[in-house]
With several copies, the nearest count.
Chain A
């Protein structure tokens, strides 16, 4: 009965690199990892958007309409639906003049219970300390 905690840190803006999307899909796969593990063993995934990475959280992305591609926004909503801990760096949002109104906060329409948390960088640093391993995207 052990838990391995992973921190997914997204530093890059969306679309110009596949990385931010792969960060989210890999984090989401923590929900099905038990098939490989023994009973009671767990892998958890926390996600943090920092630096230009916070641009992934912008609302109203029309990637499906223009490129037939699921948006990073929709993957963030999926993460919420699966109860993942999603943090967004407050200082970076402010640097870009963005507020909670500009970004994805909830996925109510899918029945998600948890919300995106806009937090000071110190809390993201604390999360990183607590994790067993970090994955930077």
Chain B
């Protein structure tokens, strides 16, 4: 299956991403999920960026928290809400809000 997962927390209370093995995985960082794209701890990027997945981050949630595109890890593409809609309809079949 083609699955797009939404990550909205910085400290994930669930480990479901470790289990999901879809043939195609997208991860959209929204709300406090954006810190995974912007914030290193002791110099290390978030381990959430280690999955074999396409990564996206919602621009307005990034800016709400004081960050800009230039703060974002190079693995992660900055997108708009309209892009989120297109990803859901055109690139993936199922969604998971974790």
Contact = CB atoms under 8 A, between A and B. Distances in A.
Direct touch of chains A and B (CB < 8 A): yes
Interface of A: 9, 11-16, 50-52, 55, 58-63, 65-67, 71, 73, 95-97, 121, 125, 128-129, 131, 133-134, 136
A65 B32 contact: no
The main secondary structure of chain B at its interface with chain A is loop
Contacts of A131: 94
Contact of A121 (B19, B35, B42, B96): B19
Contacts of A50: 16, 19
Count class of interface residues, chain B: 20 to 34
Interface of B: 1, 3, 8-11, 13-16, 19-21, 31-32, 35, 39-43, 60-61, 63-68, 94-98
Contacts of A16: 8-10, 31-32
A13 B10 contact: yes
A129 B64 contact: no
B41 A15 contact: no
B1 A128 contact: yes
A125 B66 contact: no
10 contacts: A12-B13, A14-B65, A52-B11, A62-B64, A95-B41, A96-B41, A97-B39, A97-B40, A129-B1, A134-B95
A59 B16 contact: no
Contacts of B64: 15, 61-63, 66-67, 71
A66 B60 contact: yes
A12 B94 CA distance: 20
Nearest to B15: A51
